[in-house]
Chain A
Amino acid sequence: QAGLTQPPSVSKDLRQTATLTCTGNSNNVGNQGAAWLQQHQGHPPKLLSDRKNKRPSGISERFSASRSGNTASLTITGLQVEDEADYYCSAWDSSLNVWVFGGGTKLTVL
């Protein structure tokens, strides 16, 4: 089961904007949407945005998700030190009947 494609790492300066990408295909991201999760070292993942690009209660407005075709994006504005974490995208594959994850992007805030 091929996973979703994410860049392994992204580095941005404090207070800048980072855009993370996640590429799948028409059976997963393209027609099911992608969710985004944040994981700090030693902690379980936390949902930042669901498959409909909606933020759960308590998630900062600095996190926004979107999709164009088979690629989903997570934009983080006003980067803060605490945003340094691993970010994963995930989608339901309606053809394979499985959930797939991206390999994760490690975000470094300089």
Chain B
Amino acid sequence: VQLVESGGGVVQPGKSLILSCAASGFTFSSYTMHWVRQAPGKGLEWVAVISYNGVFKYYADSMKGRFTISRDNSENTLYLQMNSLRAEDTAVYYCAREFSAFDIWGLGTMVTVSS
């Protein structure tokens, strides 16, 4: 059972970035999935959730309208489209599986927003 995030990097303020999370070892299409982020030296911050079939999506207020969560169950992949990035979006972004809670986590991918 594994989650592997990718797509992080250094991006200028106002630009966009797409993160991916490749799932393996379990039936990806059966699980609700999340993105959670952690700014350097700070605590965990929930970003967004998507239901197993992609129908239901919810976002943290500070990300609503700028971030879009999506999934491709045929490719066992979770995505996070991030637009209008700000310095305060700098963080490690984790994807996590939900089974009554966040039971499986990836290692994370670092996003740095800086000019």
Closest to A86 in B: B43
Contact present for A1 and B61 (CB under 8 Å): yes
Contact present for B102 and A98 (CB under 8 Å): no
Count B interface residues, CB 8 Å: 21
A interface, over-half SS: strand
Contact present for B100 and A50 (CB under 8 Å): yes
Q: Which residues of B contact A (CB under 8 A)?
A: 34, 36, 43-46, 49, 58-61, 94, 99-103, 105-108
Count A interface residues, CB 8 Å: 25
Contacts between the two chains (Cβ within 8 Å), count:
58
Instruction: Give every chain B residue within 8 A of A90 (Cβ-Cβ).
Output: 44, 46, 101-102
CB 8 Å contact bits of A67-103 with B (1 = contact, 0 = none): 0000000000000000000101010000001111111
Contact present for A99 and B105 (CB under 8 Å): no
Contact present for A50 and B99 (CB under 8 Å): yes
